[in-house]
């Protein structure tokens, strides 16, 4: 009985330990990838114009690979959101990034699903945008953030869903 218990515990631990393993999203050119790389402010890396702390979350971040390749990280685990909020705490530090390397010839890029400091530490799920949004919006669930976001609402109210006030689709 006790042995079964321990066994079940180990399986549960295993599930938790593997919970950060990247999942496929069915996107062309995607490949599950776990890479160690340095988080960089891409504009800084390209132009040498480098504000403090990688732009404090207001600049797009990328992964600088050991072979010198720069890969933009353009997506996190939240729907319709990027990964800057997940990566900013790792500015100019090495991380282990787990997610999808999307080697699309139009633009190679990385979709971040989990990350942890390269020196060790816990994996964190790349859903910081949602957490931050929720905090900024009175604790509201961020699962459908785009439906209730006040800035979205303001823009769509002004310009319409198609971006042109009053424009309608034929089928409407």
**Contact code string over 112-151 relative to other proteins, x by CB under 8 A:** -----------------x---------------xx--x-x
Residue 161 burial class via C-beta count within 10 angstroms: exposed 0-12, middle 13-18, buried 19 and up: exposed
Nearer to other proteins, 121 or 163 (CB): 163
Q: How far apart are CA 155 and CA 49, in angstroms?
A: 32
CB-based contact 31:25 (threshold 8 Å): no
Nearer to other proteins, 48 or 138 (CB): 48
| Cα atoms found within 13 Å of the Cα of residue 4, Cβ hemisphere only | 1
Nearer to other proteins, 3 or 23 (CB): 23
* Spatial CA neighbour of 149 closest among 58, 88, 83, 79: 79
- Residue from 104, 135, 136, 141 binding other proteins (CB under 8 A): 104
Query: What's the gap between Cα 168 and its chain centre?
Result: 34
Contact segment (CB under 8 A) with other proteins among 12-20, 42-50, 91-99, 113-121 equals: 42-50
Query: Using CB under 8 A as the criterion, which residues of the chain lie in contact with other proteins when the complex forms?
Result: 27-28, 42-43, 45-49, 55, 57-60, 68-72, 74-75, 78, 80-85, 102, 104-109, 129, 145-146, 149, 151-152, 155-156, 159, 161-164, 167-171
């Amino acid at each position: 009985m006790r042995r079964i218990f321990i066994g079940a515990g180990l399986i549960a631990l295993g599930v938790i330990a593997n919970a950060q393993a990247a999942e496929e999203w069915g996107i062309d050119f995607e490949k599950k990838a776990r890479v160690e790389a340095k988080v960089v402010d891409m504009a800084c890396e390209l132009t040498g114009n480098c504000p403090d702390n990688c732009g404090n979350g207001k600049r797009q971040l990328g992964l600088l690979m050991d072979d010198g390749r720069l890969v933009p990280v353009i997506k996190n685990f939240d729907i319709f959101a990027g990964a800057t909020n997940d990566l900013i705490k790792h500015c100019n530090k090495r991380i282990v990034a787990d997610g999808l390397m999307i080697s699309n010839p139009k633009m190679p890029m990385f979709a971040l699903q989990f990350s942890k400091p390269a020196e060790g530490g816990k994996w964190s799920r790349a859903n910081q945008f949602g957490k931050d949004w929720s905090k900024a919006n009175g604790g509201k669930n961020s699962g459908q953030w785009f439906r209730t976001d006040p800035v979205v609402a303001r823009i769509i109210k002004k310009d319409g869903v198609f971006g042109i006030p009053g424009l309608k689709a034929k089928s409407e």
